[in-house]
Each structure stands twice: as structure tokens, then as C-alpha cells.
Amino acid sequence: GVRLCRDAEELAEHTVYLLGGTYEWQTSPRILVEEFAQGPYFLADIMGNTIIEIGAGNFGPPPHFVYREYTYPASLTDDQRTRITDVSLSCLGALDLHWGPTNIEFRWTERGPVVIEVNPRLAGSPDPQLIQLACGVDLVTEHIKLVIGDECDLRKRHSQTASARFLVPDRAGTLDRIDGADQAAGVPGVAEVTWYTKPPTPIIMKGDCRDCIGHVIAASPTPTQTSAILQRAVDSITWSITPFPSIDE
């Protein structure tokens, strides 16, 4: 339900949409209006008070924020890394979050890092897998160790660039077929090709993460190589969507 509203009219229109019963988890007639922080997106993944890794992401076109790609580690300047680290630790202190996993989302704006969310949990899939591919730390296992009283091992074991590309249709309709998934999975460096749905199934564009139908994950020693592997894999995948019949039909 997150959308960029450019003026009061668009805000009123989206408010009516949100309060009209569209979202099944809605329990009270409230909306959150916040500043649009414009700039690159970063995500800090933390265990206890240790920042494991900082990733970067990008999104599809506005007014929606449907994610398209995540990469670990993010390409950061020393200043960016220092400031994101400092703000992350400040958030943990302000909210008394010093145990277990946390992920904090940022936008890097003209005034530096602006906090979008602080989540006292692991980031959603596939972020933990990307971190494991990038640096060898298995956040799921280390979280379980904490819960059962064992000692965490957050040492990085290697250094790679891992990226996930989300597969998003450009229109609504019936997803008839998906081709090329096996070829994509066979590209050297591809770690995973996952589908969230399978044909035939109706595709209804909602303007959020539910628009994604799958993802491809790749990892290699360098950002350039990982990007090339990912693009080769994605280029081998095609799908067919038949438009829904019109009312007249």
C-alpha cells in the first residue's frame, strides 16, 4: 500500500483506496503519511550490535516501490559506510535493540542517510541468502544459536558480490507459461532461480511486492561479473501473459 503522492489530490485518492477494504490485514482506519526521502536505497543487516553487511537495492518506476534488485555488499564510500554505521547503532540505542537480528532501511539523501524503517527481525528473503553468499555468515543459523543459548559466530569467511533480481510482469492478465528457467539456473554463478507462482495463474498488478513472480540470485568475486551473470540468466527467461477479457467480451 505504499505509494508516492505528489499532491493533496493524489493523497486523498490513495487514502480512499487504502481505507476501502483493499488490504485484508487492515484493522483500524489509519494511514501513515511521511516525507519522500529521495536517493539511493541501502539496508544494514545487524546481529546484536554487529553490522554484518550493508546492501543496496533499487525499485521499479514511481509512484510505487516494487523492488527490482538487491546487491550485497553495497558499493559505498568510506564516509557513507561510516555514517550509515553510526546512524544504525544510534537506532539500536534509541530503541534498546541490542539482542538478535535487526535490519534498518535507509535512503541516502542530500543531507545524508535518512532512516525509513527499523525492523527488529531478519530481513525478508532473499537477503539472508545474499549475505551468506557474499560473506559466509548464515544469519538464520546464528539467530537460532542465540535463541538456544549458544555462542554466535559472525566471522566473515569470504568476500563476494551477491545480487538478486526480482522478476516482475509489466501488465495484468493470465500467466500462461514460463520458459528458460532451467537455462537460467544452469548459468555458471547462478545460485538460485525461484518462482512464487506457476502457470496458469491470474496476475493482478497491486503496486507492491506481490507483483513479483520470482527471483534469480547470482554471486561471483566482483560486482561487474555478478551483474553480467545475473543479466545473462534473466535474459534467458521469458513468460507469456494473456490479457483478461474485457467487459464487452
pLDDT band (50, 70, 90) for residue 22:
low
Q: Which structural domain, as residue segments, surrounds residue 89?
A: 37-159
Res 19: pLDDT: 86
CB 84 within 8 A of CB 106: yes
The whole-chain average pLDDT of the chain stands at 94
49 and 144 share one domain:
yes
- Domain assignment of residue 53, yes or no: yes
pLDDT band (50, 70, 90) for residue 239:
very high
User: Which positions are annotated as active-site residues?
Assistant: 121
Q: Domain end: 116, 133, 159, which one?
A: 159
Residue 31 has pLDDT above 60, yes or no: yes
8 and 85 share one domain:
no
Query: Residue 50 pairs with which residues in a beta bridge?
Result: 47
Residue 93 has pLDDT above 80, yes or no: yes
pLDDT band (50, 70, 90) for residue 186:
very high
123 and 215 share one domain:
no
Q: Domain end: 107, 127, 159, which one?
A: 159
pLDDT band (50, 70, 90) for residue 27:
low
Q: Domain end: 135, 159, 183, which one?
A: 159
Res 246: pLDDT: 76
CB atoms within 10 A of CB 179: 12
64 and 3 share one domain:
no
- Domain assignment of residue 164, yes or no: no
CATH of the domain at 218: 3.30.470.20
CB 239 within 8 A of CB 179: yes
pLDDT in tens, 191-235: 999 999 999 999 999 999 999 999 999 999 999 999 999 999 999
What percent of the chain has a predicted confidence (pLDDT) above 70?
Answer: 96
42 and 155 share one domain:
yes
Query: Residue 69 pairs with which residues in a beta bridge?
Result: 58, 165
153 and 175 share one domain:
no
Domain count, the chain: 3
Compute CA 93 distance to the chain's CA centroid, rounded to the nearest angstrom.
25
Residue 237 has pLDDT above 70, yes or no: yes
128 and 65 share one domain:
yes
Res 21: pLDDT: 60
Res 233: pLDDT: 98
- Domain assignment of residue 56, yes or no: yes
